Amino acid sequence: QTGDYMLNAVPLAGDFTLTPMKDNDPLNGVSTFDLVLINKHILGLEPLNTPYKMIAADANNSRSITTFDIVELRKLILGIYTELPNNTSWRFVDKAYNFPNPANPFSTIFPETKQIANMQASMDQEDFVSVKTGDVNGNAVTSSLMSTEDRTAGTLLFDVEDRAVKAGEEFTVTFKAAEKVQGYQFTMNYNNLELVNIAPGASMQLDNFGVFAKEGALTTSWDGTNQAEFALTFRAKANGMLSQMLGVSSRITKAEAYNAGADRLSVAFRFNGANGSTIAGLGFELYQNTPNPFINKTQIGFYLPEAAEATLSIFDESGRMIFTQRGDYSKGYNAVTIDRGVLNTSGVLYYQLETADNSATRKMIQSK
49-68 pLDDT, tens digit per residue, is 999 999 999 999 999 999 99
With a cut of 60, say whether residue 144 has pLDDT above it: no
Least confident of 72-81, 135-144, 166-175: 135-144
pLDDT of residue 257: 97
Cα–Cα distance, 89 to 55 (Å, whole number): 12
pLDDT of residue 150: 59
Average pLDDT over residues 218-241: 97
Average pLDDT over residues 237-255: 94
Per-residue b/e over 350-367, b at no fewer than 16 CB within 10 Å?
ebbbbbeebeeebebebe
| Residue 48 CA: distances (Å) to CA of 52, 54, 55, 56, 181 | 9, 6, 10, 10, 21
What is the amino acid identity at position 35? L
Query: What is the pairing mode between strands 114-116 and 276-280?
Result: unpaired
Sequence-distant (6+) residues with CB within 8 A of 19 are 112, 113
**Which part of the chain has CATH 2.60.40.680?**
155-280
**Which part of the chain has CATH 2.60.40.1930?**
285-366
Average pLDDT over residues 195-204: 96
Cα–Cα distance, 72 to 59 (Å, whole number): 7
Q: Which of 364, 349, 355, 362 is nearest to 315 (CA)?
A: 349
**305: pLDDT confidence band, cut at 50, 70 and 90?**
confident
pLDDT of residue 122: 67
**100: pLDDT confidence band, cut at 50, 70 and 90?**
very high
Omega before 291 cis (within 30°)?
yes
**143: pLDDT confidence band, cut at 50, 70 and 90?**
low
Average pLDDT over residues 283-298: 87
Instruction: State pLDDT tens for residues 307-335.
Output: 999 999 999 999 999 999 999 998 888 88
Alpha helices, H only, the chain? 32-43, 51-57, 67-77
Per cent of the chain over pLDDT 70 is 95
SS3 138: coil
Average pLDDT over residues 145-159: 73
Give the end-to-end CA distance of the chain in Å, rounded to a whole number. Answer: 32
Cα–Cα distance, 366 to 119 (Å, whole number): 40
pLDDT of residue 145: 47
Average pLDDT over residues 206-219: 97
Q: Does domain 285-366 have CATH number 3.40.50.720?
A: no
Q: At what angle do helices 67-77 and 32-43 cross, to 10 degrees?
A: 170
Count other Cβ atoms within 10 Å, centred on residue 205.
9
Omega before 11 cis (within 30°)?
no
Average pLDDT over residues 327-355: 91
The structural architecture, per CATH, of the domain 155-280 is Sandwich (2.60)
With a cut of 80, say whether residue 216 has pLDDT above it: yes
| Residue 228 CA: distances (Å) to CA of 145, 193, 204, 244, 297 | 36, 23, 8, 23, 39
**279: pLDDT confidence band, cut at 50, 70 and 90?**
confident
Q: Are 278 and 268 in contact (CB under 8 A)?
A: no
Least confident of 11-20, 175-184, 200-209: 11-20
Check: pTM over 0.85? Answer yes or no: no
Q: Which of 220, 226, 70 is nearest to 136 (CA)?
A: 70
Rounded to the nearest angstrom, the gap between the alpha carbon of residue 98 and the centroid of all alpha carbons in its chain is 32
pLDDT of residue 84: 97
Q: Are 269 and 249 in contact (CB under 8 A)?
A: no
With a cut of 60, say whether residue 349 has pLDDT above it: yes
With a cut of 60, say whether residue 139 has pLDDT above it: yes
Cβ neighbourhood burial of 337 (10 Å; 0-12, 13-18, 19+):
middle
Least confident of 9-18, 145-154, 179-188, 332-341: 145-154
Average pLDDT over residues 29-47: 98
Beta strands of 168-275 (E only): which ranges?
170-177, 183-190, 193-199, 209-212, 217-223, 229-236, 240-241, 246-249, 256-258, 264-273
Dihedral sign for Cα atoms in the order 52, 54, 60, 61: negative
Cα–Cα distance, 39 to 254 (Å, whole number): 20
DSSP state of 288: P
Average pLDDT over residues 157-175: 97
Chain-wide mean pLDDT for the chain?
92
Sequence-distant (6+) residues with CB within 8 A of 57 are 34, 37, 38, 41, 48, 65, 69, 134, 136
Average pLDDT over residues 183-190: 97
Average pLDDT over residues 192-221: 97
With a cut of 50, say whether residue 147 has pLDDT above it: no
With a cut of 60, say whether residue 146 has pLDDT above it: no
